[in-house]
Amino acid sequence: MSDRLSALRLFVRVARAGNFSRAAREFGLSQPSASRIVATLEGEIGASLFTRSTRALALTEAGAEYLARVEPVLAALDEADHAARGTGELRGVIRVAAASSFMVHAVIPMLPDFLKDHPRLRVELLMNDLRQALISEGVDVAFRFGPLDDSTATARRLGSIQRVLVASPAYLRRAGRPKVPADLNSHALLVGPMAADRWTFEKNGRQVSLRPEGRLVVSANEGAVAAAVAGLGIASTGIIAARKPLANRKLVRVLPDWETGSVEVHAVFPAGRASKAAARALADHMLGAFAD
């Protein structure tokens, strides 16, 4: 039983890593040994789980189906072990997904204390400004912004991030400083994934909005902030990503007297199986990133 479980865990790691070498190192095995163990598992099942070539390793259709069924079982066993220990110690692996900017500025700074408290836990970070498919990519917890479009997933609200408009001092010296939101129509606007389709401003009960026509459109929020630092225009971003360049005066606030709204942040757990204790614990820990 132990050998079969080890083989199943190795299979999952190979599937998620996309190669035998990395998974073998994590299990303290040689690459040929790891390959033999998975080949033996395939023989016992009676199906090929991977297509192998000199250039790539990919799951077969049967392998993808097997992974989808086996991974929740292994997660449930890990949860049972965790409950039986009764010590609060977290072990195993959790896969965490978030936009790259939030991962860099919010998640990673919170990890040292979390991993210090749980030295036997390994964390895999999936950094992508496009929303990951939780089930197919084996994500245990994702941090997402704004309205949630997956009503079947379990979500927990962590807090909100204030939106700010920022630009470099050099850009504002060259192009002038906007005094009211309508002035933005004559400026170079930088649009990233944290920017809403409409920029809304409120002051003294008066609300106005505009649809930004981006001179530069980038797929990652880090790119929008970097473009603003480079003097390419005015960016709308979350305050977390702008804190450092604002502190060192590489960026300054634009229209600071106007409220520009905020975006809610949720920890989202995949539907169809119980969330891992480690994933829930990380979500709890991340509340500290939103503390005043």
Q: In the chain, where are the structural domains located?
A: 1-87, 160-263
Beta bridge partners, 108, equal: none
Q: What is the CATH number of domain 160-263?
A: 3.40.190.290
Percentage of the chain surpassing pLDDT 70? 90
229-261 per-position pLDDT tens digit: 999 999 999 999 999 999 999 999 999 999 998
Beta bridge partners, 162, equal: 262
81-95 per-position pLDDT tens digit: 767 766 667 878 888
Read off the pLDDT of each residue in 63-88 and give the average, rounded to a whole number: 78
**Would you tell me the crossing angle of helices 239-247 and 221-229 to the nearest 10 degrees?**
20
Closest to 188 (Cα-Cα) out of 223, 227, 240: 227
Third-level CATH fold of 1-87? Arc Repressor Mutant, subunit A (1.10.10)
Mean pLDDT of the chain: 86
pLDDT bracket for residue 274 (50, 70, 90): low
Q: What is the pTM of this model?
A: 0.73
| Beta-carbon-side half-sphere exposure of residue 219 (alpha carbons within 13 Å) | 5
145-163 per-position pLDDT tens digit: 887 765 556 888 999 999 9
pLDDT bracket for residue 75 (50, 70, 90): confident
pLDDT bracket for residue 1 (50, 70, 90): very low
Segment among 149-153, 197-201, 270-274 with least mean pLDDT: 149-153
Q: Most distant CA pair in the chain: distance in Å? A: 71
